[in-house]
């Protein structure tokens, strides 16, 4: 496709006037333990890879090179780094905690701080220890105490090394893909299980929030959920409209109501009040990639344009979903500050990546102008990493590439562009490639 045609696709999505960000706006990058560390850990994804159900994950070397990576992101101007703890590393067997692994996470947090980067620690990002998966994971309520013991143990170990925690990344995506669609571990495809899991992950969030908040010094604890912005492909089609609304009511509606009121109303289950879920967040972590369509052929991605840019995962670029979602969450949870905890794009085209970020920063700014208290933007991700069922393919989200043979890092063009945005606190239309 010609450069001009591609430019025309982007034109309506990009800002036409400079977009300014306040001095104290938090610029960060986000990552997860398993996606960057990889390796032969005793978790359910390693087992699924051995069974040939997902790609293998050698990692990008972060476990060994975290200190260098943190210096690198600090050098680009980022002041925050979201990482996660791989549960199977710190508790490889039930009840046996590996002090050396815990020490390594302490050292990583300290290296961040030393580089001038604030660490944000997430405790669950899709992977389970093998032993926990074998016992039936979160679906068995008898296992919940195992997770809470891990939260308590790691929270206490890191309390003096990190001030910001997340209990889980995208619990609803975990339930959707692992229990409703059955496309990732534990590969369950059963709506009754998915609805039970919805209730369980919410309860676990409330319990873990309470545990983390009891630590000294007391951390800030945030949720993280990805906004999927469900839309009917054809707004005049009643069935499609109903499908999008049904999905939205479960996927977004249950979580937002539960956090606001403590009431968990999951389809097919009795409403249940979990009082300590009400307000169990100091900050709402908002992830966003694209809007979701419900059409005749099932679910896909959605845009309000006929010919939008399309990413390497065939998803239509629609920054309006980020704006609408931030405003919606701000209205649903008044008084709760918001942080974009993930946004980014799978591509090997660095012009595409910079434009994608510019368009989404402009949408974020519009949400701020409408009153959504958005405190920062964390980009997914710094160094290219394992993209779950896509492995290490062309679906690359990093601002930094690495050579698998030498682990050598190299900043991409989009990384240099982003550093300039941070330096000036401005997205300048004249500087967008
Ligand atoms: C998010 C996940 C994250 C990463 C990005 C691309 O939904 O939280 O682990 O894979 O997508």
**pLDDT (tens digit, 9 = 90+) per residue, 250-265?**
999 999 999 999 999 9
- The CB of 380 under 6 Å from ligand 1? The reply is yes
Q: Which residue has the CA at smallest separation from atom 9 of ligand 1?
A: 32
User: What is the number of other CB atoms lying within 10 angstroms of the CB of residue 239?
Assistant: 11
Section 172-197 average pLDDT = 98
CB-ligand 1 contact for 124 (6 Å cutoff):
no
For residue 114, what are the contacts with CB-CB under 8 A and spacing of at least 6?
none
Secondary structure letter of residue 348 according to DSSP: S
304-349 pLDDT, tens digit each: 999 999 999 999 999 999 999 999 999 999 999 999 999 999 999 9
Q: How confident is the model at residue 1 (pLDDT cuts 50, 70, 90)?
A: low
| Share above pLDDT 90 across residues of the chain, in percent, rounded to a whole number | 99
Token pair of 215 as six digits? 């630590």
Average pLDDT for 220-232: 98
Q: Is the CB of 323 under 6 A from ligand 1?
A: no
The H-or-E segment that residue 221 falls in is: strand 220-227
Give the span between the Cα atoms of 75 and 3, in whole angstroms: 31
Residue 334's contacts (CB-CB under 8 Å, 6 or more residues apart) are none
Q: How many CA atoms lie within 13 A of 261 on its CB side?
A: 12
The residue whose CA is least distant from atom 7 of ligand 1 is: 226
* Residues 27-84 pLDDT 10s: 999 999 999 999 999 999 999 999 999 999 999 999 999 999 999 999 999 999 999 9
Find out whether the beta carbon of 169 lies less than 6 Å from any atom of ligand 1: yes
| Beta-bridge partner residues of 374 | 338
pLDDT for the residue 2: 75
Ligand 1 midpoint to CA 2 (Å): 30
Rounded to 5 degrees, φ, ψ at 340 are -75, 110
Q: Ligand 1 mean position to 289 CA, how many Å?
A: 9
Q: Is the CB of 387 under 6 A from ligand 1?
A: yes
139-164 pLDDT per residue, tens: 999 999 999 999 999 999 999 999 99
Decide: 386 in ligand 1 pocket, CB within 6 A: no
Give the pLDDT mean for 186-213: 98
Average pLDDT of the residues in 224-242: 97
CA angle 181, 187, 189 (to 5 degrees): 40
Look at residue 178 and tell me whether its pLDDT is greater than 70.
Answer: yes
Report d(CA 311, CA 352) in Å as an integer: 8
Mean pLDDT computed over every residue of the chain = 97
User: Measured between alpha carbons, how far is 16 from 358 in angstroms, rounded to an integer?
Assistant: 11
Does the pLDDT at position 90 exceed 90?
yes
Å from CA of 383 to ligand 1 middle: 14
Residue 172 to residue 414: CA distance in whole angstroms: 30
Atom of ligand 1 nearest to the CA of 35: 9
Tell me which H or E stretch contains 346. Answer: none
The alpha-helical segments, DSSP class H, found in 115-228 are: 130-134, 144-158, 171-175, 191-213
Q: Is the CB of 290 under 6 A from ligand 1?
A: no
Ligand 1 centroid to residue 386 C-alpha, Å: 10
SS3 390: helix
Q: How far is the CA of 340 from the centre of ligand 1 (A)?
A: 13
Judge if the beta carbon of residue 388 lies within 6 A of ligand 1. Answer: yes
- Residue 362 neighbours by CB under 8 Å, 6+ apart: 13, 14, 15, 19, 319, 427
Q: Is the distance from the beta carbon of residue 226 to the nearest atom of ligand 1 less than 6 Å?
A: yes
């Amino acid at each position: 496709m010609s450069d001009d045609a591609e430019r025309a696709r982007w034109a309506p999505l990009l800002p036409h006037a400079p977009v300014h960000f306040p001095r104290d706006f938090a610029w960060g990058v986000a990552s997860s333990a398993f996606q960057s560390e990889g390796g032969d850990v005793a978790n359910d994804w390693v087992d699924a890879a051995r069974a040939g159900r997902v790609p293998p994950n050698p990692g990008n070397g972060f476990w060994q090179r975290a200190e260098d990576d943190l210096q690198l992101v600090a050098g680009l101007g980022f002041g925050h780094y979201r990482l996660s703890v791989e549960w199977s590393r710190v508790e490889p067997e039930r009840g046996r905690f590996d002090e050396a692994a815990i020490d390594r996470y302490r050292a990583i947090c300290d290296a961040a701080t030393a580089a001038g980067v604030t660490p944000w620690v997430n405790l669950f990002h899709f992977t389970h220890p093998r032993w926990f998966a074998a016992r039936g994971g979160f679906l068995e309520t008898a296992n919940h105490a195992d997770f809470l013991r891990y939260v308590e143990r790691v929270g206490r170990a890191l309390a003096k090394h990190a001030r910001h925690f997340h209990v889980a990344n995208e619990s609803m995506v975990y339930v959707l893909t692992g229990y409703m669609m059955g496309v990732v571990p534990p590969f369950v495809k059963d709506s009754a299980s998915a609805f039970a899991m919805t209730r369980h992950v919410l309860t676990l969030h409330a319990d873990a929030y309470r545990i983390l908040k009891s630590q000294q010094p007391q951390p800030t604890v945030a949720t993280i959920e990805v906004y999927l912005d469900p839309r009917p492909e054809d707004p005049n089609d009643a069935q499609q409209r109903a499908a999008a609304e049904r999905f939205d009511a479960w996927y977004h509606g249950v979580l937002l109501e539960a956090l606001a009121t403590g009431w968990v109303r999951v389809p097919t289950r009795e409403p249940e009040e979990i009082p300590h879920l009400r307000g169990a967040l100091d900050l709402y972590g908002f992830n966003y990639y694209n809007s979701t369509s419900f059409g005749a052929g099932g679910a896909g991605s959605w845009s309000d344009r006929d010919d939008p840019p399309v990413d390497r995962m065939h998803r239509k670029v629609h920054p309006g979903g980020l704006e609408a979602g931030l405003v919606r969450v701000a209205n649903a949870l008044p008084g709760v500050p918001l942080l974009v905890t993930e946004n980014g794009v799978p591509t090997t085209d660095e012009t595409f990546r910079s434009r994608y970020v510019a368009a989404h920063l402009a949408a974020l700014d519009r949400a701020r102008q409408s009153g959504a208290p958005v405190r920062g933007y964390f980009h997914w991700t710094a160094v290219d990493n394992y993209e779950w069922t896509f492995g290490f393919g062309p679906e690359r989200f990093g601002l930094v590439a690495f050579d698998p043979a030498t682990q050598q890092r190299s900043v991409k063009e989009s990384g240099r562009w982003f550093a300039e945005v941070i330096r000036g606190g401005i997205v300048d239309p004249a500087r967008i490639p």
